[in-house]
Amino acid sequence: MDRNRIALAVTFVVTILSLFVGLINLVSNVSSSKLTKVDAGSGFGTDRLGAALIKIEGEIHSGHSSYDSAGAQTILEQLRSIEDDSNIVGVLVEINSPGGSVGASQEIYKELMYLRKDKNKKIVVSMKDIAASGGYYIASAADKIFALGGTLTGSIGVIAIAPNIKGLLERYGVKVRTFKEGKYKDSLSLFRDSTPEEDAMIQKMLSDTYEEFIEDVAKGRNQTVKFVEALAEGRIYSGQDAFRNKLVDDIGGRREALAELSKLCNYDGTLPLFEEEVNPWERFFQLMQAKSGGFFGGEKAFLQELKRSPVLVLYPHSMAW
């Protein structure tokens, strides 16, 4: 009798979970490529020309965006959906991010450069509270960058994070055995000190990525590598400071950025601004995931990304933890 009850309970739980997962999959597969108006300009309703609004908020990582983070896959899907849309003549990118993983930041940067150089889309960035490190990396792909006076930006640099809990484990008599095939397979292990050879290898990776960061910023900003190097090394700037040092082009918010974008697109008046329509159910589940501390979807995507690729992070060191 007890076994039957247990089996019935397990079946009930599995059924509920299956329905829940199915609902999530159904919601996630609903197309959200439709653009909706967020700011009207002259001619809206009779003239379909306009600009796309792309928001990059929170930590930048690979995969899909969550309620409080920016996933490169989501951003790339939005950008690629307007590549061949002749009615979308410009892109306003609003950035409020401290940075994130290297690969994700590079992907978004390259897609913006492609739109700018190959598809002749005009791109303007509007920085909010913070647009540092990976956030600035992405911003540098724009034709023009606007920052608020109090925006925190810059932090052109790369950091590797490698915690070591060997001493803690030894204190409590905990031993960890590692089985590996490959001399460097457990580089940056939590459980042992790194070797000088491994340190040199990681430093080389950091140097290569740092050089690429600087070169990409120089290319996007139409500056020399030497100019960017003098402002890099992880230095953080206020919006006013960044303007004085030519890391951004002007001080202002969305209004000023959209006005500049309209001018770049030779549009008479203010361009209508369109944003991708978000499925309300998808937004609801993202909110629930954020509020529940990951109950619906595990740990935050950014932390998952760090676990998968724990070496290189475009992130201000003082804000990393």
User: Could you list the active site residues?
Assistant: 133, 185
Euclidean distance between CA atoms 89 and 80, whole angstroms: 13
Classify residue 277 by its DSSP letter.
Answer: P
d(CA 277, CA 274) in angstroms, rounded, equals: 9
* Residue whose structure tokens are 């960044």: 242
Tokens standing for residue 280? 């309300």
Burial zone of 302 (CB within 10 Å; 0-12 exposed, 13-18 middle, 19+ buried): buried
Q: CA end-to-end span of the chain, whole Å?
A: 53
* Closest to 122 (Cα-Cα) out of 266, 268, 277, 275: 266
Contact 75, 56 (CB under 8 A): yes
